[in-house]
A and B are shown apart, each in its own frame.
Chain A
């Protein structure tokens, strides 16, 4: 039998590392392993990786894409751009804002596809918070300077921001982020490397009960918020009523959807260990997508308010300053929604990974 030397049977280390980095983490192990099995020569390996990775990447982008969440994120970016002096007024400004929003969304999709399969390390989480907070502070400072240069900044606003808001923002947000990390570390893992089918079924039923309760509560909150917004829209004069009514409908539709289809599906009767595991993975993923959407829905009224202020109200100096504070508040709120989702996504991917490797344990 012909025995191939190691140089012929496995790709050069650096080349393999590069290919591995380009494969989305969720598929990295299986795809990199398959490519190594098919290795014949460096050029063949590069050609095969170049033909394979784009498909894998597009597949993961499709899997991670949550269209309603993308719509909210796109709207958020658009509002932020429109509310600042970064985008010029007029139709050219709108076009620029739409193009930049589309570009940022595409980058977000790509970043999601390459997101690691576990929650970020505590160090990384804190550094990210510090960077985002610093960027927001710098952005507000830039806008304040622009307003001061245009003599549109009311007295005392600059000092208020510098001495009353800046010193507290970063420590408070970093502290909140650290609390999230600590809560994650304290959480006990309920899935193990080997389980009996009955144990797995019991875990799934617990998960089903938790999601049922959570979805019912969320649904009631959403329907209540929808009714509240509808009352305000019907009894008060509000700017951009069409937008406000569309928000009312979105809350009502999502609330109703949660009531009707939100529950985790029943496990198939007589399913074996493999099917149980697969159904559990799919449902974990689906419930995470639902939660992701709902978390993004809550700050949406603030985004609508900013959008309405930008597009319909005359801009006097006080409103400008108010918007200046509302905008970073919205950015930080959306940042927190994003990291909450990311923490949750890391936990879900960890669970899915455990389920994928789980072995069936036979009872005593």
Chain B
């Protein structure tokens, strides 16, 4: 499928869903993204908006779980990567690797360290 390239936040959301497997829903996805994007603080609302957008692009699928008592009898909306989502994430990862290698070569080796310019 020919999809538009993913934005950085979309990559983070897809990566979180990929790593959380069966346990990917709003709260856990948000927590995983905060880990991945640290020290950046991520708004929960931004995660929902991106999940909706990715679902519209058919990169992820969602379903409602059984209602649970700790959520006041409400269901969780779980997410899973679709085949197109996996392809899009792989493409993004390859691009990110090329960028990383290019920058690393420019700064002399893969162990380069960012030094802010005065």
Residues of chain A at the chain B interface (Cβ within 8 Å): 9-10, 16, 27, 29-34, 36-38, 48, 51-56, 58-60, 62-63, 268, 274-275, 277-279, 282, 356-358
B82 touches A29 (CB 8 A): no
Is A58's CB under 8 angstroms from B49's CB? yes
Contact of A278 among B43, B45, B53, B58 (CB under 8 A): B58
B91 CB to nearest A CB, Å: 18
**Which of A9, A30, A358 contacts B26, CB < 8 Å?**
A30
Chain A neighbourhood of B48, CB < 8 A: 27, 31, 52, 55-56, 59
The 10 closest A-B pairs by CB, nearest first: A55-B45, A278-B61, A33-B74, A30-B77, A33-B71, A52-B45, A34-B26, A59-B49, A59-B52, A356-B64
Measured between beta carbons, the chain A residues less than 8 angstroms from B72 are 10, 16, 32-33, 36
Closest B residue to A29 by CB, please name it.
B74
When each residue 17-46 of chain B gets 1 if its CB lies under 8 Å from chain A and 0 otherwise, what string results?
000000001110000000000000001111
Q: Residues of A contacting B11 with CB < 8 Å?
A: none
- Of chain A, the residue at the smallest CB distance from B74 is A33
Would you call B2 an interface residue if the criterion is a C-beta within 8 Å of the partner chain's C-beta atoms? no
Give Cα A63 to B61, complex, Å: 16
B101 beta carbon closer than 8 Å to chain A: no
Partner of A279, one of B46, B58, B75: B58
Contact check: which of A10, A16, A38 meets B27 at CB < 8 Å? A38
**20 A-B pairs (CB sep. < 8 Å):** A27-B48, A30-B64, A30-B76, A30-B77, A34-B44, A36-B72, A37-B70, A37-B71, A51-B43, A51-B44, A59-B49, A59-B52, A63-B56, A274-B63, A278-B82, A282-B56, A356-B62, A356-B64, A357-B63, A358-B63
Would you call B44 and A48 a contact (CB within 8 A)? yes
User: A117: shortest Cβ distance to chain B, in Å?
Assistant: 12
Query: B43 and A34: CB pair below 8 A?
Result: no
> Using Cβ atoms and an 8 Å threshold, which residues of chain B touch A356?
62-64, 77
For the complex, give the distance between the alpha carbons of A311 and B83 in Å.
54
Complex-state Cα separation, A258 to B27, whole angstroms: 40
Q: Check if A33 sits within 8 Å of B43, measured CB to CB.
A: no
Nearest to A28 among chain B residues (CB) is B74
Does the CB pair B71–A274 fall under 8 Å?
A: no
Contact A51 B76 (CB under 8 A): no
- How far, in Å, is A7 (CB) from chain B's closest CB? 14
Interfacial chain B residues near A30, Cβ < 8 Å: 25-26, 64, 74-77
Residues in A neighbouring B83, C-beta threshold 8 A: 268, 275
Tell me the B70-112 residues at the A interface (CB within 8 Å): 70-72, 74-77, 80, 82-83
Residues of B contacting A282 in the complex (Cβ-Cβ under 8 angstroms): 55-56, 58
Chain A residue with the shortest CB-CB distance to B31: A38
Question: What is the minimal beta-carbon distance from A82 to any residue of chain B, in angstroms?
Answer: 36
- Residue of B62, B71, B75 with highest tally of chain A CB at under 10 A: B71
Quote the shortest CB–CB distance from A95 to chain B (angstroms). Answer: 34
**Assembly CA distance A31 to B29 (angstroms):** 13
Q: Is the Cβ of B61 less than 8 Å from the Cβ of A36? A: no
B7 to chain A, nearest CB (A): 15
A34 to B48, CA, bound (A): 11
Q: Do the beta carbons of B56 and A55 come within 8 Å of each other?
A: no
B63 closest partner in A (C-beta): A356
| Minimum CB–CB distance for A104 against chain B, Å | 25
Residue of B nearest to A27 (CB): B48
The answer to whether B43 touches A55, judged by C-beta atoms less than 8 angstroms apart, is yes
Chain A residues whose CB sits within 8 angstroms of the CB of B25 once the complex forms? 30, 34
Q: A114–B27 Cα gap in the complex (Å)?
A: 23
